[in-house]
C-alpha cells in the first residue's frame, strides 16, 4: 500500500510530519492539563467504567476515603469499595443491615 506522503514532494512530506507531531504534542499537553485540573479539584472525584470498576480518582477522593486509600486502585470494583467502607463503619445507616443496604439502589 502506498502512503500519501510517498507521492508528495519530500519538503511537503516533512512539513506534514512536523505538523502531525505538533498536533500530537498539543493533544498530550491538553491531556496533562486536564489531569492537573482533576487532580487539584477541591472535591473528591472518581470515575468508573461500564462494569463498575474504578478507572481513576483524584487526591481529594483518596483523602475523603483515607481509611481505604491504598485500595483505591484502577480496576477495583465499586462494590468492593462500598464493602470496605462498610467494614470500617463509614455508613452508620447500614449498621447491622449491611447486606440489605448493599442491595438498595443508589439515589
Give the pLDDT of residue 7: 63
Q: How many secondary structure helices (H) and strands (E) does the chain include? A: 4, 2
With contact defined as beta carbons under 8 Å apart, do 100 and 93 qualify? no
Give the pLDDT of residue 51: 94
pTM over 0.85: no
For 47-60, b/e burial (b = at least 16 CB within 10 A) is eeeeeeebeebbeb
pLDDT in tens, 35-85: 777 788 889 999 899 999 999 888 999 999 999 999 999 999 999 999 999
Amino acid at each position: 500500500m502506498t502512503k500519501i506522503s510517498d507521492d508528495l514532494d519530500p519538503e511537503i512530506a516533512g512539513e506534514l510530519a512536523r505538523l502531525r507531531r505538533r498536533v500530537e504534542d498539543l493533544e498530550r499537553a491538553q491531556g496533562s492539563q486536564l489531569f492537573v485540573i482533576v487532580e487539584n479539584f477541591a472535591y473528591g472525584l472518581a470515575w468508573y467504567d461500564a462494569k463498575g470498576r474504578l478507572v481513576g480518582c483524584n487526591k481529594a477522593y483518596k483523602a475523603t476515603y483515607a481509611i481505604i486509600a491504598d485500595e483505591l486502585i484502577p480496576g477495583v470494583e465499586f462494590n468492593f469499595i462500598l464493602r470496605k467502607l462498610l467494614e470500617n463503619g463509614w455508613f452508620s445507616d447500614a449498621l447491622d443491615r449491611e447486606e440489605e443496604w448493599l442491595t438498595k439502589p443508589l439515589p
